């Protein structure tokens, strides 16, 4: 069963990476801005198809090799988990490596053909954009955080009744395989980590309010509508992940207080259900929304102006993945390759947003 689960994750990663160019804005090709007039260039089309074939074929070969090897070996659960995660990361790194090859080729092609030379670069600003946003209200994210705080209080109330050794990790079979001595800190470590994660999703949803919208000057109406819808769906997706994570970690914590509500079968099944639901949610979100709402059918197309293009900000994107722009006040920016958001690493606050939660989680994890 564990082999099938890890195989499913590997297959999901392979398919998602192979189809990624289809989920992005046409004007962003392998992390490079391409004016709308040239997105159908035959070389661009060829490179996208080649990326799809190479990444999908490589991923399926790795998957077949993984299944063949693991099914013919007598591996213990820890070794199987270690090998499986290693194979998944290997597949991911191969696709990323090939992405960088495509990124360099498109960047070189753009320079050779001079697609932005002589064009009038226009930055479109919608002054009422923030007023039009329909994000999930912050209070909806705060409610699960209040529940988590209540869980911490309840844990302290039940502290005397808890066993001297509490489980902190469960193996693939659902059996607890790591324990920690009961202390006032160790018994609330999981709710504390959950609280940090809930805060991160809240900040992500609220951060979209202050992220500049990249509006296509050749199709303003549709572009604005897609941007608004993209932020709305992203906010709801963040809430979905928040609630599902809260339910999973809340139950895992409660069963340390009340072992009678748990069983090895539940502990084995629950993470699988969580992963499947999460992957299904990611798949629906990616296919339906796409990057910047590019897959959403909204509004009507306006005529394209041959001499007018969006501002070319390739210089701020390192490798098409890292955004570094000190002059941009936005902390969150839309990814160029991948669906979702990344940070503007030119702003010091972005480093705080990135590392503070990670440091807090690591401190909690290594303190129990």
d(CA 190, CA 199): 14
* Distance separating alpha carbons of residues 290 and 227, to the nearest angstrom: 11
Name the residue among 322, 325, 351 with its Cα closest to residue 337. Answer: 322
130 shares a domain with 52: no
Q: What's the mean pLDDT in 311-318?
A: 91
pLDDT mean over 119-132 = 82
- Min mean pLDDT across 98-112, 162-176, 248-262 is at 162-176
pLDDT classification of 174: cutoffs 50, 70, 90:
low
Residue-level pLDDT at 25: 87
Residue 215: per-residue pLDDT? 82
Task: Identify the band that residue 19 occupies on the pLDDT scale cut at 50, 70 and 90.
Answer: very high
Using an 8 Å Cβ cutoff, are 120 and 310 in contact?
Answer: no
What pLDDT is stored for residue 55 in this prediction?
A: 96
Domain around 46: 1-117
Q: Of 76, 101, 117, which residue constitutes the final position of a domain? A: 117
Instruction: Give the Cα separation of 180 and 178 in Å (integer).
Output: 7
Q: Does residue 91 sit in the same domain as residue 148?
A: no
Residues contacting residue 146 through CB under 8 Å, at least 6 positions apart: none
Same domain, 188 and 322: yes
> Using 50, 70 and 90 to split pLDDT, how confident is the model at 14?
very high
Residue 7 is predicted with a pLDDT of 87
Same domain for 39 and 79, yes or no, is yes
Phi, psi of 228, rounded to the nearest 5 degrees? -65, -45
Average of per-residue pLDDT across 261-290: 85
Highest mean pLDDT among 117-121, 172-176, 267-271, 333-337: 333-337
The answer to whether residues 112 and 232 belong to one domain is no
CA dihedral (44, 45, 49, 51) in degrees, to 10, reads 10
- CA-to-CA distance for 314 and 311, rounded, in angstroms? 9
Q: Kindly state the average pLDDT of the residues 134-139.
A: 94
Higher pLDDT pick, 8 / 109: 109
Residue closest to 153 by CA, chosen among 111, 99, 191, 121: 191
pLDDT-derived band of residue 263, with 50, 70 and 90 as boundaries?
confident
Total number of domains constituting the chain = 2
The residue from 89, 117, 145 where one domain ends is: 117
322: pLDDT strictly greater than 70: yes
Above 80 in pLDDT, residue 243?
yes
Judgement on whether residues 132 and 281 belong to the same structural domain of the protein: yes
Nearest Cα neighbor of 321 from 168, 23, 96 is 96
In this predicted structure, what is the pLDDT of residue 124?
80
Mean residue pLDDT of the chain comes to 87
| 36-45, 96-105, 116-125, 337-346: range with lowest mean pLDDT | 116-125
The span from the CA of 322 to the CA of 345, in Å, is 7
Taking alpha carbons only, the member of 54, 73, 72 closest to residue 14 is 54
Confidence of residue 300 (pLDDT cuts 50, 70, 90): low
Name which residue leads in pLDDT, 324 or 117.
324
Q: Which residue has the higher pLDDT, 127 or 70?
A: 70
pLDDT bracket for residue 83 (50, 70, 90): confident
Mean pLDDT value across residues 161-168: 81
Question: Which domain-ending residue is among 78, 94, 117?
Answer: 117
> 61 and 148: one domain?
no
131 and 83, same structural domain?
A: no
Compute the average pLDDT of residues 179-204.
Answer: 91
Residue 264 pLDDT > 80, yes or no?
Answer: no
Please name which of 48, 50, 52, 54 lies closest in space to residue 28, comparing C-alpha atoms. 48
> What local confidence, expressed as pLDDT, does residue 45 receive?
95
Other CB atoms closer than 10 Å to residue 223's CB: what's the count? 25
Whole-angstrom distance, CA of residue 326 vs CA of residue 21: 28
Quote the pLDDT of residue 307. Answer: 60
Q: Which two tokens stand for residue 332?
A: 């969150």
Closest by alpha carbon to 211, among 347, 105, 75, 19?
347
Distances (CA, A) of 358 to 10, 140, 233, 247, 352: 25, 24, 26, 21, 10
Do 130 and 82 sit in the same domain of this protein? no
Q: DSSP code of 76?
A: -
Model confidence at 104, in pLDDT bands (50, 70, 90)? very high
Non-local (6+) Cβ contacts of 129 within 8 A are 213, 224, 227, 228
Contacts of 214 (CB under 8 A, 6+ apart): 223, 227, 292, 310, 334
Flag whether pLDDT at 33 surpasses 90.
Answer: yes
Long-range contact pairs involving 76-82 (C-beta distance under 8 Å, separation at least 24): 77/2, 77/171, 77/172, 77/173, 78/171, 80/2, 80/3, 80/6, 80/172, 81/2, 81/6, 81/172
Same-domain check for residues 251 and 287? yes
Q: Are residues 275 and 357 in the same domain?
A: yes
Pair 228, 110 in one domain: no
Q: Residue 192 has which token pair?
A: 């504390």
């Amino acid at each position: 069963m564990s082999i099938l689960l890890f195989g499913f994750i590997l297959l999901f990663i392979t398919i998602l990476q192979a189809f990624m160019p289809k989920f992005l804005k046409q004007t962003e090709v392998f992390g490079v801005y391409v004016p709308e007039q040239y997105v159908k260039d035959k070389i661009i089309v060829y490179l996208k198809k080649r990326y799809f074939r190479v990444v999908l074929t490589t991923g399926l070969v790795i998957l077949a090799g993984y299944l063949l090897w693991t099914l013919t070996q007598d591996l213990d659960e820890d070794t199987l988990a270690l090998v499986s995660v290693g194979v998944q990361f290997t597949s991911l790194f191969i696709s990323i490596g090939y992405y960088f090859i495509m990124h360099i080729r498109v960047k070189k092609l753009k320079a050779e053909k001079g697609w932005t030379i002589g064009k009038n670069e226009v930055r479109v600003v919608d002054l009422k954009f923030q007023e039009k946003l329909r994000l999930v209200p912050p209070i909806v994210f705060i409610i699960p955080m209040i529940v988590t705080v209540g869980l911490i209080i309840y844990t302290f109330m039940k502290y005397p009744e808890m066993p001297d050794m509490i489980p902190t990790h469960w193996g693939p079979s659902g059996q607890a395989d790591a324990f920690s001595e009961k202390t006032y800190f160790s018994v609330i470590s999981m709710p504390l980590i959950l609280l940090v994660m809930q805060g991160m999703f809240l900040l992500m949803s609220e951060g979209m309010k202050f992220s500049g919208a990249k509006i296509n000057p050749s199709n303003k109406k549709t572009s604005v509508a897609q941007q608004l819808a993209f932020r709305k769906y992203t906010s709801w997706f963040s809430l979905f992940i928040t609630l599902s994570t809260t339910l999973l970690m809340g139950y895992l914590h409660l069963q340390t207080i009340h072992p009678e509500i748990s069983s090895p079968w539940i502990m084995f099944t629950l993470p699988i259900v969580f992963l499947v639901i999460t992957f299904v949610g990611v798949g629906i979100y990616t296919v339906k929304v796409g990057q910047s709402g590019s897959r959403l059918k909204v509004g009507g197309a306006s005529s394209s102006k041959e001499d007018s293009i969006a501002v070319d900000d390739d210089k701020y994107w390192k490798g098409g993945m890292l955004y570094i722009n000190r002059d941009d006040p936005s902390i969150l920016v839309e990814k160029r390759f991948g669906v979702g958001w990344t940070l503007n690493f030119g702003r010091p606050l972005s480093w705080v947003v990135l590392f503070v939660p990670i440091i807090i989680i690591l401190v909690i994890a290594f303190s129990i």
